[in-house]
Structure 1
Amino acid sequence: MRRIQAGNALSAFGLGFTVPYLYVYVAQVRDLGATTAGAVLAVFAMAALAVLPFTGRTIDRRGPLPVLIGAALLAALGALAMGVAGSVTAVVGAAALLGAGTAVMQPALATMIVWSSAPDARTRAFALQFFLQNLGLGIGGLIGGLLVDESRPGSFLLLFSIEAAMFLVLAAIAATVRMPHTPAIADARPGHTGAKGGGGLRALLGHRAMVQLCVLGFVLFFACYGQFESGLAAYGTEAAGIEPSTLGMALAANTAVIVAAQFLVLRFVERRRRSRVIAAVGLIWAVAWLIAGYAGLGHGSQAMATAAFITTYGLFGLGEAMLSPTVAPLVADLAPESMVGQYNSAFALVKQLALAVGPAVGGPMGAALHGPYIVTFVLFSLGISVLALRLGRSLTALQDHPYGMRSRVVARHAPEERATAGTAA
């Protein structure tokens, strides 16, 4: 587990070097124009959508370890190709390799964490993964910003080379991991697993709780991550008059809240039903959108608007810190033992779809329809709470509140066990 988490942190560190500067690199440094830069970002996302439907079955058949190593090598090749690309064809091809490789890593890493963790440690394992990812992205972006120079294409080659090196380190670390022969995953799953009568996509679509979780996941990612660098950024600059530099401060505040709060919220999360934790996140994000509405539609000073906008991103970070130890373990607990990879890949696909649709819808609304934009996403956030509570009715008690069920079982049986031991003595 330590090696998996170390590799996860290093790959996030490498991504942080380049992702914030990809648009600038293609449009300005390589002088290929804004249209090509937009196409590169679209290809980056579409490549993920193309490979994820096939990733889960491969993970379940071959195991997550070879899939992760192959994805890391593919991403390293894409990063190196991007660093030397000088034509439209070359940058688009590099983006396809990089997008496909990084997308496959997500469900492979998630499955490795599930295989390598006992059920009672899984919540903290996924919380640590999310913490290290954000820490790596933040540090990578900070150092990358110090190294990058638009007047020197060589500085971008250095960034992409560092990114490729991090992916190669991830592959090397993964190659030293010895996965358990028997995955430590059977715990909260119901006896029938929700997957009778077949396997693959048909079984997943027949699993009501998983379908509900995927719908909820789409709304979660659409209403938060899908707006960060598109609709919310456009709304902030157009409606609230936020300086572009303030967007960087807001994203930094988001990362800082995640890093600071991740382990502080664990006790809160572990003591409550997962469905109610997700419902609470919906309420927190509704408040965040209302504060963003004040920043753009209120009559306060520019300083107040700036503070409100940064607070919005901070509240989003608090919600993310609550979701990371909640949603990913729930996907693992819903999956039949033979389909963990497919369930993780399906959820990653839902996330990628939301990240593709979110900017396309939110960007134009945030830039031009300020009032309707805020109202829409306040309603989406409240919808998260409603969907989460409905999901809770489809979960078993152990899936919805694993820690609470274990503590009640221990309390109920411990005296009986002691009495039995005393009789035997």
Structure 2
Amino acid sequence: MRSFWAALPTEGRWLLSTVAIQTLGRGLTLPFTLIYLHEVRGFELGLSGTLMALIAIVGLLVTGPGGTMTDRHGARAVLLVGISAMAVGNVVLAFATTPLVAALALVLIGFNFGASWPAFNALIAAVVTGELRQQYFGINFALVNLGIGVGGIVGGVFADVHRPGTFTAIFVANALTGLVPLVLLLGPLRHVHGRATAPEDGTTPATVGYLAILRQPAVRWLTLLTFVGTFIGYGQHEAGFPGFARQAAEVSTRTIGLAFAVNTVVIVVLQFSVLNRIKRHLRTRVMIAMAGIWAAAWGLLGLAGVVPGGGVAIAGVLAYMGVFALGETLLQPTVPAMANDLASDHNRGRYNAITAAAFQGGAIAGPVVAGFLLQHHLAAAYIAVMVAGCAAIAAMALVLERHVPASANGGAAVASTTSGAV
């Protein structure tokens, strides 16, 4: 960790040092937004779920334009707009008493989600290059989980449905945490625009559209792999996993909450060690290892459903989240690093937008499929679909390996550690 920190440029240190603080506010509200809309504001549960879906839907719609704007105007400019929208959205949501006002707030939050994701990854890639980039994405992921985990614990202790003011407070606090990146972007990082112009030698077009990028086999396979990985991974965390744990494994909500805590702890504790072990390996092989680990995790959850309601079920649910978290520590450093190594500096926003769209698509499709299977009491089929998805990831990683250049697959070291786009 000391050598990594010493190798980082000053801009990278600024970005990384505040990640946990920025995501603390997100953790305060993420597990409790649906509860707030339904139990505090009195909206029907179906309506509350529909309102929550606006975040993902708007995020998906905005991702493409957000990537284009990142390339044209720079990641910093897009982040300033997106983070401002997030802060305003959370303040509006804190005082929303009607579905229309809540919808407006959630649209603003979704706008930030869609626009800021490709912009933030592009900003990181503008600051950090080479082997440091993969390490950076991994450590950033661990710190994001730390902030969300701590925020979730604090929110769970503080928020009380019988005291509506406590929910107002956590949404306002989430808005205030947005001031941290705004201060960074307007202060120490005001010169890091994250924008690069195309070479003038005529060898590289000034702009490349999304269709042209997707015609590259490496990008297509990486995008498909990201979609499937999200579908069987993060797309199940908010619906499929809790639904299976309650319906098939018959464990308590307390056990489910503890499982998410286990997930956070494993990521925070193991991410640094995992980064050290994978940095000499091809990223596609790391993805294959991740697929095997995730398949084992889903098998453990399936075991919990075979013997429901007892200690074995509880152990299976907790073990699932721990093993799944280990796979996450392999996924998060590799996919964004590969996407940015495939990209050219002046089209980095679009490449990151494609990855973000694949992630959001998987996050939308995952709960839909899980809900259908679990509603029809097809728990065994649900686990089978998840394990099949893991096998598909391994197969796609092998195909991807044939198309991705060595420089983007961890097979060639890049000597430079800073980018001229700063």
* Cα deviations by residue, 1:191-214 (Å, 9 ceiling, x for unpaired): x99x87971112212211011100
Aligned residue runs from structure 1 range 255-274, under 5 A: 255-274=264-283
Greater C-alpha Rg: 1
Following TM superposition, by how much is the alpha carbon of 1:290 offset from its aligned partner in structure 2, in angstroms? 1.0
What is the alpha-carbon distance in structure 2 between the residues aligned to residue 365 and residue 242 of structure 1? 19
* Cα deviations by residue, 1:379-415 (Å, 9 ceiling, x for unpaired): 111111111111011012222124xx339x9xxxxxx
1:130 aligned partner: 141
SS in 1 for 2:250: coil
> Is 1:330 aligned with 2:338?
yes
Task: Determine if contact 2:74/2:193 at 8 Å carries over to the other structure.
Answer: no
Sort the Cα spacing of 1:87 and 1:196 in 2 relative to 1 into closer, same or farther, 3 A: same
2:170 aligned partner: 159
Aligned residue runs from structure 1 range 263-412, under 5 A: 263-297=272-306, 299=307, 302-367=310-375, 368-402=377-411, 405-406=412-413
What is the alpha-carbon distance in structure 2 between the residues aligned to residue 78 and residue 50 of structure 1? 17
Residue correspondences, number:
400
* Residue type at the aligned position of 1:307: A
Sort the Cα spacing of 1:274 and 1:184 in 2 relative to 1 into closer, same or farther, 3 A: farther
2:217 aligned partner: 208
For structure 2, the residue ranges without an aligned partner over 5 or more in a row are: 1-11, 416-422
What is the alpha-carbon distance in structure 2 between the residues aligned to residue 393 and residue 110 of structure 1? 25
What is the alpha-carbon distance in structure 2 between the residues aligned to residue 145 and residue 166 of structure 1? 18
Task: Determine if contact 1:4/1:109 at 8 Å carries over to the other structure.
Answer: no
> Is 1:105 aligned with 2:116?
yes
Sort the Cα spacing of 1:274 and 1:234 in 2 relative to 1 into closer, same or farther, 3 A: same
> Is 1:23 aligned with 2:34?
yes
Following TM superposition, by how much is the alpha carbon of 1:293 offset from its aligned partner in structure 2, in angstroms? 1.0
What is the alpha-carbon distance in structure 2 between the residues aligned to residue 29 and residue 140 of structure 1? 20
1:82 aligned partner: 93
Aligned residue runs from structure 1 range 49-68, under 5 A: 49-68=60-79
SS in 2 for 1:106: helix
Sort the Cα spacing of 1:6 and 1:69 in 2 relative to 1 into closer, same or farther, 3 A: farther
TM-score of the aligned structures, taking structure 1 as reference length:
0.90
Following TM superposition, by how much is the alpha carbon of 1:115 offset from its aligned partner in structure 2, in angstroms? 0.4
What is the alpha-carbon distance in structure 2 between the residues aligned to residue 184 and residue 152 of structure 1? 50
TM-score of the aligned structures, taking structure 2 as reference length:
0.90
SS in 2 for 1:272: coil
SS in 1 for 2:281: coil
* Cα deviations by residue, 1:347-373 (Å, 9 ceiling, x for unpaired): 111111110111011123134211111
What is the alpha-carbon distance in structure 2 between the residues aligned to residue 278 and residue 61 of structure 1? 32
Sort the Cα spacing of 1:336 and 1:154 in 2 relative to 1 into closer, same or farther, 3 A: same
What is the alpha-carbon distance in structure 2 between the residues aligned to residue 82 and residue 28 of structure 1? 14
What is the alpha-carbon distance in structure 2 between the residues aligned to residue 323 and residue 397 of structure 1? 18
Following TM superposition, by how much is the alpha carbon of 1:6 offset from its aligned partner in structure 2, in angstroms? 3.5
SS in 1 for 2:42: coil
* Two-structure CA RMSD over aligned residues (Å): 2.3
SS in 1 for 2:60: helix
SS in 2 for 1:235: helix
What is the alpha-carbon distance in structure 1 between the residues aligned to residue 285 and residue 240 of structure 2? 28
Following TM superposition, by how much is the alpha carbon of 1:308 offset from its aligned partner in structure 2, in angstroms? 1.0
Sort the Cα spacing of 1:112 and 1:266 in 2 relative to 1 into closer, same or farther, 3 A: same
What is the alpha-carbon distance in structure 2 between the residues aligned to residue 159 and residue 204 of structure 1? 41
What is the alpha-carbon distance in structure 1 between the residues aligned to residue 40 and residue 193 of structure 2? 49
Please say which of residues 23-32 and 300-309 is displaced more in the overlay: 300-309
* Cα deviations by residue, 1:68-115 (Å, 9 ceiling, x for unpaired): 111111000000000000001011111111111133222111111100
2:8 aligned partner: none
SS in 2 for 1:241: coil
SS in 2 for 1:199: coil
* Cα deviations by residue, 1:205-227 (Å, 9 ceiling, x for unpaired): 22110111000000000001001
Following TM superposition, by how much is the alpha carbon of 1:124 offset from its aligned partner in structure 2, in angstroms? 1.3
> Is 1:225 aligned with 2:234?
yes
SS in 2 for 1:262: helix
What is the alpha-carbon distance in structure 1 between the residues aligned to residue 191 and residue 126 of structure 2? 7
What is the alpha-carbon distance in structure 2 between the residues aligned to residue 4 and residue 185 of structure 1? 23
What is the alpha-carbon distance in structure 2 between the residues aligned to residue 79 and residue 72 of structure 1? 11
1:46 aligned partner: 57
What is the alpha-carbon distance in structure 2 between the residues aligned to residue 370 and residue 121 of structure 1? 42
> Is 1:12 aligned with 2:36?
no
Task: Determine if contact 2:251/2:308 at 8 Å carries over to the other structure.
Answer: no
**Aligned pair partner of 1:32 in 33, 39, 43:** 43
